[in-house]
């Protein structure tokens, strides 16, 4: 077992006993930089022991896998004549949820991601940004003519857009942008 820090922090949390609420912490570590959840220590880091540690050693990896869909390492530790468990959680590249809710470890706290923070987190995990996500139901007629004109001016001055594309109708230009974004080849 690796050396544990002496205080709770970004990558270390201690719990006296296992409760299913601990799955939130595992979710939070998986969505952050990974970490270690130690079951059988109090908030000061003192080993208080864990009943049925050997049974939990077998049950917890399956429970975590079944509920969160992630694989964790569960290690048995022994100190001061008492057993404890160390659950090692890797950072995951895809968003992990606990019962439809997303958590992230931040400092020594567990944060539930909501609203704009959740949107940004999910988009980032999928390699996207808000401006690269299509908005269903938006038509060319819904867009500001001034904004379209400004887009054409900026595109022309950047030199990254073919001049013939800039002379195309708004609908044709939008179609070309959509094809380029999705990788479609309309000329094929």
- Residue-range domains of the chain with CATH: 12-125 (3.30.950.30), 134-182 (no CATH)
Percent of the chain with pLDDT over 90: 57
Pairwise CA distance, residues 153 & 129, whole Å: 23
- For residues 26-46, give the mean pLDDT: 95
In the prediction, which pLDDT does 188 show?
44
How far are the Cα atoms of 7, 38, 61, 130 from residue 98, in angstroms, in the given order?
A: 26, 19, 15, 24
User: Poorest-confidence range of 16-30, 71-85, 113-127, 143-157?
Assistant: 143-157
Q: Is the pLDDT of residue 105 over 80?
A: yes
pTM for this one?
Answer: 0.70
Q: How confident is the model at residue 143 (pLDDT cuts 50, 70, 90)?
A: confident
Q: pLDDT-derived band of residue 128, with 50, 70 and 90 as boundaries?
A: confident
Above 60 in pLDDT, residue 93?
yes
> Is 123 in a helix, a strand, or coil?
helix
Residue 102, CA distances (Å) to 32, 124, 133, 170, 174 in order: 11, 14, 21, 39, 35
């Amino acid at each position: 077992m690796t050396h544990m820090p002496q205080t709770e922090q970004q990558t270390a949390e201690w719990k006296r006993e296992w409760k299913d609420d601990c799955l939130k912490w595992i979710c939070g570590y998986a969505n952050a930089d990974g970490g270690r959840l130690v079951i059988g220590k109090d908030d000061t880091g003192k080993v208080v022991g864990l009943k049925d540690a050997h049974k939990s050693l077998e049950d917890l990896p399956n429970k975590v896998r079944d509920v969160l869909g992630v694989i964790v390492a569960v290690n048995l530790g022994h100190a001061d004549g008492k057993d404890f468990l160390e659950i090692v959680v890797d950072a995951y590249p895809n968003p992990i949820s606990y019962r439809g809710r997303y958590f992230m470890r931040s400092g020594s706290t567990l944060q539930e991601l909501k609203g704009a923070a959740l949107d940004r987190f999910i988009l980032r995990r999928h390699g996207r940004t808000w401006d690269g996500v299509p908005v269903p139901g938006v038509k060319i007629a819904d867009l500001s003519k001034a904004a379209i004109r400004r887009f054409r001016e900026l595109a022309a001055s950047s030199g990254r857009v073919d001049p013939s594309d800039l002379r195309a109708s708004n609908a044709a230009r939008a179609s070309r942008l959509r094809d380029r974004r999705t990788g479609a080849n309309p000329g094929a």
